[in-house]
Amino acid sequence: MVVSDPSENPDEADQTSGSGLAAEKARRLARIQELRDRGDEPYPYRFDRSHTLGEIRLAWGALEPGTETETEVAVAGRIMLKRDTGKLVFATLQDRSDQIQLFISKAVTGDDHFADVKELDLGDWVGVHGTVMTTRKGELSIKASTVQLLSKAVRPLPDKWHGLTDTDTRFRQRYADLIVNERARRNFEIRHAVVSSFRRTLHAKGFIEVETPVLHLEAGGAHARPFVTHHNALDMDLYLRIALELHHKRLIVGGMERVFEIGRIFRNEGISTRHNPEFTMMELYQAFGDWNDVMDITEELVTQAARDALGTTAITIRGEQFDLAEPWPRKRMVDYVSEAVGREVHPSQPIDELRSLATEHGVRYEDRWGGGKLVEELFEALCEGNIVRPTFVTGHPTEISPLARVDRDDPWLTERFEIFVDSRELGNGYSELNDPVEQRARFEDEQAAKDAGDAEAGSVDEDYLRALEYGMPPTGGLGIGMDRVAMLLAGVDSIKEVILFPTLRPEPEIS
RNA sequence: GCGCCUCUAGCUCAAUGGUUAGAGCAGUGGGCUUUUAACCCAUUGGUUCAGGGUUCGAGUCCCUGGGGGCGCACCA
């Protein structure tokens, strides 16, 4: 550890007057030195607490005003507010669970200790021994006998009332955002509740949680541009995964029957209110099931997550109330498009008809696109934006679904669905294609598209085909964007509100 | 990548192109033993994102660059 002598840094040492940031830091650093000079440690190693603040409120929240108890407690947290009335100091202590007032009286603590309390700054961490009481006005408080500094904050907190509002600062300094913005803390509690709820639901259904490689030889399982990295010892490029799918289905071949993973995936694409380059995907695969089974599981997962995170299945989207517990509509993509254009649309139609339909509705297309791709583009342009309530859009054209099984009733379509909520895609699932011969043909189509210049197209994954050749049972598979579910339940419009440290450009200079 | 908006004290915000850029909070000094964003008195603190330009005069207008936001494009 390097300890610098403050005298070597006159910029910081000689600015204890004034009140700029540098002066404020210098003043607090001087206080630290003062404590050490007299033998006190401003950064002690540990503190034993008897209760969290939430536990205190739960147990004593109903005390009558003006009650003094004999109950000795030890609590710890950060000083958020201080109200100094002379010989009596009120402070607001915050821990993860709650905020509770400290009642610190000079007559109780003694003169010397009280002087130290006066020296505490907003932002300091303290451990407090005292008794539970309520004030005359009924505020639940800890009457402190000792207030021990646990960690001295050198940098001042943001505005005590307004908190942090500048989004740039909030996302860059998430630590400060979490300290002062209750809303930010709540969003991440919801996210946690969603993730743990998914795990509980899936464990109860007999799914095994697996961990599969992040570094891939081929970035398969989705259409997206990958990040490339390099392994020095093997001297080869590797791709960060863009999906979990292909490894999971290898495990189904291996006989694991029910697997899931909640993992980070990476897509080298634009950043927006709905996209972060790294995000969290839950994928699951269930042997002997098909798309209907995984649609049912989807409803159950999200509905249960709402119960666990919010205590209700009622949610509001764009001012409209919906109950997640009601069955979600299931409707074919071709039916959406047919409805939007006023006549029957299907990828089997002559390509010229579909192209003129695209032109008619202002949808630009490329000549290499087939009818299936055109139908999807029409759906995205004309229908996607109108879907508000949770909905399964089903029957994606085979052309755009290289890993999905063809619909048992329609060879142009697949047994595939996407979940849409508030115009956003929440997830995707299908009856898995398990015929190795057909899978090879689909891969070869992908490879042809890639060779023709489609940067997001896949290629032939020979190892995956070898796995299929051993035989994959009929399987239903599902992928859900966990960040999007968290957004839905937290009621926020930006994915950055549910990702602790979203991807940002580097800061020019930190002061 | 394109368009629009935005950036002022540690934080939250003011400031018709016109004195020396202000206020609240935080900080500092003083007062106060039941406060609740405590209060009262006094007070410190600025590279107005950066660099150019127009002007007698620029936080304000223009240009270039940077950060961020929103929209579009991209995005299974």
Identify the CATH number of the domain in which residue A477 sits.
Answer: 3.30.930.10
Query: Which of A100, A127, A161 is the C-terminal boundary of a domain?
Result: A161
Checking each nucleotide's C1' against the CA of A454, the nearest proves to be: B74
Give the phi and the psi of residue A187 in degrees, each rounded to 5: -55, -40
Examine the domain organization and report whether A305 and A196 are in the same domain. yes
Distance of CA A230 to the CA centre of its chain: 28
pLDDT value of residue A4: 34
Residue labelled with tokens 């000689």? A14
Examine the domain organization and report whether A272 and A413 are in the same domain. yes
Checking each nucleotide's C1' against the CA of A101, the nearest proves to be: B36
Residue labelled with tokens 């489609």? A454
Residue A360 domain-assigned (yes or no): no
Protein residue closest via CA to C1' of B43: A18
Please give the Cα distance from A94 to A271 (Å, whole number): 34
What does A234-280 look like in DSSP terms, one character per residue?
Answer: TTEEEEE-S-SHHHHHHHHHTT--EEEEEEEEE--S---SS--SEEE
Q: Which long-range contacts (CB under 8 A, 24 or more apart) does A379-385 make?
A: A379/A333, A379/A336, A379/A337, A382/A336, A382/A337, A382/A340, A382/A341, A383/A333, A383/A336, A383/A337, A383/A339, A383/A340, A384/A420, A384/A423, A385/A423
Protein residue closest via CA to C1' of B49: A508
Residue A194 domain-assigned (yes or no): yes
Query: Looking at residue A112, which CATH number applies to its domain?
Result: 2.40.50.140
Query: Which of A129, A161, A193 is the C-terminal boundary of a domain?
Result: A161
Q: Which of residues 248-287 of A touch strand B (CB under 7 A)?
A: 267, 269-270, 272-275
Who's near A491: CB < 8 A, 6+ residues apart?
A315, A316
pLDDT value of residue A417: 96
**pLDDT below 50 — which residues of chain A?**
1-15
Extract the tokens encoding A193.
């509740």
Checking each nucleotide's C1' against the CA of A19, the nearest proves to be: B45
The torsion of the CA quartet A42, A43, A45, A47, rounded to 10 degrees, works out to 60
CB-count burial class (<10 Å; 0-12, 13-18, 19+) for A414:
buried
Q: Which of residues 62-91 of A touch strand B (CB under 7 A)?
A: 81-88, 90
Extract the tokens encoding A14.
């000689």
Residue A106 domain-assigned (yes or no): yes
Residue A172 domain-assigned (yes or no): no
The whole-number Å distance from A340's CA to B62's C1' is: 48
Residue A303 domain-assigned (yes or no): yes
Who's near A225: CB < 8 A, 6+ residues apart?
A267, A268, A269, A455, A456
Examine the domain organization and report whether A18 and A70 are in the same domain. no
Protein residue closest via CA to C1' of B7: A166
The whole-number Å distance from A499's CA to B61's C1' is: 40
Protein residue closest via CA to C1' of B69: A167
Distance of CA A407 to the CA centre of its chain: 34
Examine the domain organization and report whether A321 and A402 are in the same domain. yes
Residue A247 domain-assigned (yes or no): yes
Examine the domain organization and report whether A58 and A198 are in the same domain. no
pLDDT value of residue A17: 52
Report how many domains make up chain A.
3
For A145, half-sphere exposure in the C-beta direction (CA atoms, 13 angstrom radius) is 9
Residue A84 domain-assigned (yes or no): yes
The whole-number Å distance from A35's CA to B10's C1' is: 24
Extract the tokens encoding A166.
């500048």
Please give the Cα distance from A294 to A298 (Å, whole number): 6
Examine the domain organization and report whether A245 and A320 are in the same domain. yes
Examine the domain organization and report whether A155 and A255 are in the same domain. no
Q: Is the CB of A505 under 7 A from strand B?
A: yes
pLDDT value of residue A508: 67
Q: Which helix or strand (DSSP H or E) is residue A77 part of?
A: strand A68-84
The domain in which residue A33 lies consists of: 10-37
Helix-helix angle A351-360:A371-382, to 10 degrees: 20
Nearest CA among A223, A387, A395 for reference residue A295: A395
Examine the domain organization and report whether A208 and A323 are in the same domain. yes
Examine the domain organization and report whether A117 and A188 are in the same domain. no
The whole-number Å distance from A161's CA to B18's C1' is: 35
The whole-number Å distance from A159's CA to B8's C1' is: 17
Checking each nucleotide's C1' against the CA of A479, the nearest proves to be: B76
Q: Which of residues 218-237 of A touch strand B (CB under 7 A)?
A: 221-224
The whole-number Å distance from A307's CA to B66's C1' is: 45
pLDDT value of residue A1: 33
pLDDT value of residue A19: 64
Could you say which nucleotides of strand B lie within 7 A of any protein CB atom?
1, 9-13, 24-28, 31-39, 44-46, 66-76
The whole-number Å distance from A391's CA to B29's C1' is: 64
- Strand, helix or coil at A131? strand
Who's near A248: CB < 8 A, 6+ residues apart?
A210, A212, A259, A260, A261, A283, A284, A285, A477
Q: Which of residues 437-456 of A touch strand B (CB under 7 A)?
A: 456
What does A308-377 look like in DSSP terms, one character per residue?
Answer: HHHS-SEEEETTEEEETTSPPPEEEHHHHHHHHHTS---TTS-HHHHHHHHHHTT----TT--HHHHHHH
**What's the complex ipTM?**
0.92
**Ranges of H-type helices in A390-470:** 436-451, 462-469
Residue A448 domain-assigned (yes or no): yes
Q: Is the CB of A118 under 7 A from strand B?
A: no
- Strand, helix or coil at A215? strand
Q: Which of residues 304-363 of A touch strand B (CB under 7 A)?
A: none
Q: Is the CB of A160 under 7 A from strand B?
A: yes
The whole-number Å distance from A160's CA to B61's C1' is: 37
Examine the domain organization and report whether A321 and A459 are in the same domain. yes
Examine the domain organization and report whether A19 and A134 are in the same domain. no
Examine the domain organization and report whether A26 and A63 are in the same domain. no
> Which of the 8 DSSP states describes residue A1?
-
Q: Is the CB of A504 under 7 A from strand B?
A: yes
Instruction: Provide the residue type at A473 as one letter.
Output: P
- Provide Rg for chain A, Cα atoms: 29
